[in-house]
Structure 1
């Protein structure tokens, strides 16, 4: 256990015993600041891949929760607009050294978010505390990357895409987008869903553990993850409530995701995207 992890666990125990913002010391706040610095530097992450499975680092998620529980909300300003929050936006001075760009007029990166080298964050977009955005990844306009979400290297998040985050319970892994994934405009990934590496997801696709993925490659129905190297898109399948008298002869359908092999022309389109970014 690292000194930082030990300090966070100690603070968590004290919080469980009744520690409040009124009792928080300068030393406690210094620990919370050091924790956020470690998140921004990529030294700690809310989840990690151990073998074939993503697991949550519970102590990291506790550290994020402590930053909400033990800080007072303050009046702040962003782009000339006042707001109230316990955390400020992230200092972006280090991004230039990494070759990372964040465009003005609406790009909000919260304290405790990590952005990798040569990443691009377009405005308006929002990257929340605990999120990890990998090298050369594009966060396009109107995107949201939720708290603790793990987004890999060389990922393209299409415009108006929502990457949800899972902060509680602390044992649950957050949403994960693995390396070399391309998500079309308007996609939503929620509730700890994992998108496998080198996959291409069609626009306006909803990926959540409650919606089945019909994997035509392995001829299996899976939940909670999209296997690697898949092309996925939304279709509708007949629902079990279709026999209800209320529907008459019209039937009833529910959303599903169909996954096939990534097509050669899709790979070529992704490569063209990479060439444009270079």
Structure 2
């Protein structure tokens, strides 16, 4: 059994598709929960009620992201280049929106578990039969490493798009910090502060998940193809990419890509 968590502000149509992909392709029981992050998000398509309705219709658990003054202060002490929330109480940008939701969910819900858990971006789907927890019998974590160059050596941290963790064996999971900000003066992405967790636990047994990016696949009818495949236990996990349409593709592009996605899920 594995508990899967995702974060959604827009694209409520992805929620039943994710659930369908889990039910069709998972070889173990799953518990799927969506953290609704739309209440404080004014990005394109953000819709709190649509996310709530999609979860209800698909039989998916939903938890609202909350404002926590203590957590906000701790995050703001690291990210000094911009406020977390603007004068209207809305996230100031997409990076802090994702990072704050991750930190809140991790501190209040996920880190308290002592079982196998998975973090999926809202546009990551199972497309082949797989038992996600297989590698967690040997490894404490399955992660796609991310990082930034630094004179002292690469600053390696976690990419929260797709992560599997065994919280029964992972040391001090409550200390994992998903914030962005800076490390040694270098700006880092969402999840960048997980660098410190790796430094505190250098002997963790981690499986680095291989991935391949498809920027111009001639076999699909949308351009650019712009999707990823992650390879785990001999099977493929699909990352749609840019599902929130942050790069402002035309509606026709996503219509074609969504049709292709449905075909991949089956």
Shorter-chain TM-score range: under 0.3
Q: Which has the higher contact order (CA 8 A, sep 6+)?
A: 2
Which of 1 and 2 has greater Rg?
A: 1
More helix by percentage = 2
Normalising by structure 2, we get a TM-score of 0.25
- Normalising by structure 1, we get a TM-score of 0.24
